[in-house]
Structure 1
Amino acid sequence: MASATRTFTRALRTSARPAFSAAPRVAFRQGGRRFYSSEAPSKTSSSVGIWAAAGGALVAGGAYWFYQNGSSSATPKVFTPKFEDYQAVYNEIASRLEENDSWDDGSYGPVLLRLAWHASGTYDKETGTGGSNGATMRFAPESDHGANAGLKAARDFLEPVKAKFPWITYSDLWILGGVCAIQEMLGPQIPYRPGRQDKDVAGCTPDGRLPDGSRGHDHLRDIFYRMGFNDQEIVALAGAHALGRCHPDRSGFSGPWTFSPTVLTNDYYKLLLEEKWQWKKWNGPKQYEDKKTKSLMMLPADMALVQDKKFKEWVQKYAADNDLFFKDFSAVIVKLFELGVPFPEGTERWVFKTLQ
């Protein structure tokens, strides 16, 4: 089923999708099961749970990369990457997303999005520390934080891309990987601008800045308000749980949130409202399972979105309108991916073409 879903998904891609256009996605959803996108998968997928080194000097939104031409005495050349250079990086990532059928649901998309999310979600607006400007998860102790368990796979996946395009910083590469993942999994277009600088181990953030899936609405507000998000944005970001799944050997939790963990839709919100959820009886941490199939899961932090009145209002809006979800998700994920980045004034945002 996972392989058939990926094949059908690729067939739906078009060469020039307008932002938030729903035509291919509507066809996909209408061909689905139980009003959701696809049947329950039989394999496992990478967790994108939002709860659960050198670059160059960055100027005017692009990296000035110096290299030697020939002998060591040659005059260093200066390479200033343009849109088409970043598009080439995007294409390289996109071409490899489904190269390994044995990896979870057959796509590295969810784990790449989780890497970009966790690299950005450490931001503290009061101190100006953390955020996507630094890629400090390359170093311990940040790489060993519990919330980042399993993300070495995503970092390793991107290493050959970094080797092929050595001028791009890890910070920009990780975020570009997240942008690529969203768009290639039939999500909305995500505007991107480069300009992040890599930092050393001194830039590592303390543990505890990312959401804890076992906690409730007060915790969610504490975590996201610290970054500068409001209630609507918290719920919009949670829609990323349409993708991927949790693993017992990483977060401790187990299972996917939706029946189509490699296609971005508003199913996460529909399932929260329409399914009957019960506590899962197992030896792991407390989590919910759907009563009907027992193949889906929700975390306590997910259920908090329908238990809290203000959060639930937005869950209902996004469940009823996929286009609204895509519009708001695109806006808030761009905000997340740019937290803590001192972009030079006038830095242009780009929208990359999806892989054909």
Structure 2
Amino acid sequence: MGNACSDGCFGMLASKKVSQLRACKQDLKKFIDSKNCHPIMVRLAWHDSGTYDQRIKNFPERGGANGAIRFAGEMNFGANAGLDKAKGFLDEFAKKYPEALSSGRIAACSALYIGAHETLLSCVAVMASSRYGRVAVTSDSECVKSASREGFSGNAGLPDAEPPFGCGAPTAAQHLRNVFTKKMGFTDQEIVALSGAHTIGRAFKERSGACPFGYGEQAASKYTKGDCIVRKDGSKGVGMVGGASWTKNWLTFDNSYFKDYKLSYEDDSLLWFKTDEALHTDPEFKKYFDLYAKDQDAFFKDYAKAHKKLSELGSKFEPEGGIKI
């Protein structure tokens, strides 16, 4: 009788969690669309996962998608400048949906945009196959320590845009492989596919220092001003005004990062760093770069797989198999 009661109570709790996750997912989708904050939400999820180091086996020392970025130990890295804004957005959802785990909601946000975008039919699988229930770290003391980043400590374990590279690599291509392959376990194909997320990215002078365009209308590039039309549906809205993007329509997720990269060499309002250049000059990267430039569906399919892998790096699930909604 006691076991039956225990099982029944567990079932009720699990049902409540799933119900809140579903409701949270729908609310997040509406919120992100209304705020046009897709890029910073993608960046938050990326940077939370980007602490992962496959050379370290134990949780949470290995880093990864565990929600640690909400603590100062991660947020205060220069590479994470500005992400406190995205954290603030999600804190409100945490209050409304306390059963939706912190790390789960962070890792879900970038997938929400990709999965919801009407043209990305093949990428809907990112949301459909995503698992929830990641165990979140509970304090700053559980964040990855700088000393454990081994050659990547200066930039939160993430790639540098330009040389000199923190890992000591002589080329941008080697730097990308040091970060994404040696540290995080991605293949060349996955590196190129994931780089396509720059399609909806922006950089700001006040954050990275690698971009001449900054906050506000006066410091914006010609593609990031308040009156720009950059959404696929043609609606107005750019979210926070300013900065510079890699693509002209930087709130439209497509393959323009690959297809139109030459525009970045001709237009000073568009970004293109040494790590971007490496993707179409290194022979192994170039194979996939050229494929995605020609075949958008191939990019969507490969991005979906790579993004799912990214969203689960270093994760520990509770229950063990995670929760699907």
TM-score normalised by the shorter chain: which range applies? Answer: 0.7 to 0.9
User: 1:261 maps to which residue?
Assistant: 250
Please list, as runs of the form range in 1=range in 2, the aligned pairs for 1:45-194 lying within 5 A after superposition: 78=13, 80-81=15-16, 83-100=18-35, 107-128=36-57, 129-133=62-66, 135-186=67-118, 187=120, 188-189=123-124, 190=126, 191-194=129-132
* 1:290 matched residue in structure 2: 265
Question: Any conservation in 1 of the 2:64–2:314 contact (CA below 8 Å)?
Answer: yes
Q: For 2:311, which of 320, 337, 341 is the aligned residue? A: 337
**1-structure distance, mates of 2:173, 2:142:** 29
Aligned-partner Cα distance in 2 for 1:345–1:159: 25
Deviations 1:238-283 (A, max 9, x none): 00000021111111233101111111101101122xx25xxxxxxx
Q: Which moved more, 1:197-206 or 1:338-347?
A: 338-347
Q: How does 1:179-328 map to 2 (within 5 A)?
A: 179-186=111-118, 187=120, 188-189=123-124, 190=126, 191-199=129-137, 200-205=139-144, 206=146, 207=153, 208=155, 209-215=157-163, 216-225=172-181, 226-254=183-211, 255-272=244-261, 275=262, 289-291=264-266, 293-328=267-302
User: Are the counterparts in 1 of residues 44 and 83 from structure 2 also a CA contact under 8 Å?
Assistant: yes
Decide whether aligned partners of structure 1 residues 230 and 270 sit closer, same or farther in structure 2, where only a CA change above 3 A counts: same
- Alpha carbons of structure 1 residues 79 and 195: separation in structure 2 relative to 1, 3 Å: closer
**Contact 1:193–1:348, Cα closer than 8 Å, also in 2:** yes
Q: CA RMSD in A?
A: 2.0
State the alpha-carbon separation in 2 of the partners of residues 178 and 305 from structure 1.
Answer: 23
Q: 1:308 to 1:130 in 2, by over 3 A?
A: same
- Cα distance in structure 1, aligned partners of 2:323 and 2:90: 24
**Structure number with higher strand proportion:** 1
Q: Is contact 1:125–1:227 with CA below 8 Å preserved after alignment?
A: yes
In structure 2, the CA distance between the partners of 1:136 and 1:125, relative to structure 1 (3 Å rule), is: same
Give secondary structure in 1 for the equivalent of 2:64.
coil
Q: How many aligned positions are there?
A: 254
TM normalised by structure 1 equals: 0.67
Distance (whole Å) between structure 1 residues aligned to residue 248 and residue 16 of structure 2: 39
Q: Which has the higher helix share?
A: 2
SS of match in other structure, 1:214: coil
Is the 2:63–2:143 Cα contact (8 Å) retained in structure 1?
yes
Per the alignment, in what secondary structure is the counterpart of residue 290 of structure 1? helix
Distance 1:90 1:132 in 2: 18
- Ranked by relative contact order (alpha carbons within 8 Å, sequence separation 6 or more), the top structure is 1
In structure 2, relative to structure 1, the CA distance for the partners of 1:85 and 1:126 (3 Å cut) is: same
Unaligned stretches of 5+ in structure 2? 1-9, 147-152, 164-171, 212-243
Aligned residues of 1:130 and 1:203 also touching (Cα < 8 A):
no
Counterpart CA distance in 2 for 1:192 and 1:245 is 26
